[in-house]
Amino acid sequence: MKSLIISVDLGNPDFQAHSDEFVMLAEGAGAEIVGHLVARRQRPDAAYFIGKGKLDEAALLADSTEAEIILFDQPLSPAQQRNIERALKRRVIDRVALILDIFALRAQSHEGKLQVELAQLQHLVTRLTRMWTHLERQRGGIGMRGPGESQLEMDKRMIGAKVKLLKERLAKAQKQRNTQRRARTRRGTMSVSLVGYTNAGKSTLFNALTRAGAYEADQLFATLDTTTRKLWIDGFGQVVVSDTVGFIRDLPPTLIAAFRATLEETVQADLLLHVVDAASPQRDEQIAEVNKVLGDIGAGEIPRVLVYNKIDAAGYEPWVERDEHGTIVRVFVSALTRAGLDGLRQAIIESGQVAGNNAFNVENI
């Protein structure tokens, strides 16, 4: 689908990284990018976010490139979105809706699809009035996957009923997860969750550790559904490792809420392996963003080890860094070449021994 991207520079030092990331999101959703307009402002315009002058420029560019939709790299209010659509006479997809769309595209499991549909419907409710004028033109494509045309025609009462049903189904799935987690706890099995910014290489590392064969790709949000596998570490015992959804800037609150059942694997873990793309120029900002989301979901106090992945691309050697107390705080690895994995296993062992006073020992499994 021919798409015009509108990026807004509000003076943030990481604007270019934010803009490049949005382009990756658009391409991941299947957009054919035919134009890219950058607007610079001190603060968002109340009516159009980018202001009337830039809006006129966007209209001319959209017409000349024959763009079918507008992809806006900032979250828009329902009123702003409605005003821009009326002015440009095209459907507008903001950052939140685009992320939701990619999640709808990538979700594979039944639970994952329920979570995405719930988030989409909750997002839709706030914009229901603007949808009525566009129903006849909707034929799928970017921003329209998931609930589908028939559900877009529901009134708020019917959407409310659907949301209630989805929440009940997700609660049932969460109850099942809690049962499995309690069983692991009774067996004294240590649980480890891989967390990190999207496309940091979590799934590749997960496969390197567990030989699980989970889907991996060089794209944002390749993994949405939590995958859990058992890992045997010589001299220690069995560990349960979970691969979780990646985080990103401005992750929609509705999405975090919908995925709370899946993210419980993170909240309840004994150890978090925070996977970082060592070759990314924005790795410090990405680390901060992940830490923020971990705090938001109640996982801020869980012990964690920073795992600098992709050292083959960054030019680093595999090694283990310890703090002044001798505790491993950073491990440098390459999931692709499997370099440094012994150091990562050692970090898991030492963390388990400290956390459980040897409770996660081979003799207890």
Query: Annotated binding site for GTP: which residue ranges?
Result: 196-203, 221-225, 243-246, 309-312, 334-336
Q: Helices marked H in the chain — which ranges? A: 15-28, 52-65, 78-88, 95-106, 110-125, 128-131, 149-152, 156-186, 202-210, 253-258, 260-267, 283-296, 311-314, 341-356
Q: 3-class SS at 40?
A: strand
Binding-site sequence positions: 196-203, 221-225, 243-246, 309-312, 334-336
Tell me the C-alpha distance between 63 and 210, whole Å: 51
Closest CA to 177 of 226, 224, 223: 226
Contact 18, 249 (CB under 8 A): yes
Binding-site sequence positions for Mg(2+): 203, 223
Total length of the chain: 365
| 206, burial (CB in 10 Å: exposed 0-12, middle 13-18, buried 19+) | buried
Show the tokens assigned to 128.
């229901």
Closest CA to 313 of 334, 332, 331: 334
Question: Side-chain half-sphere of 264: how many Cα atoms within 13 Å?
Answer: 16
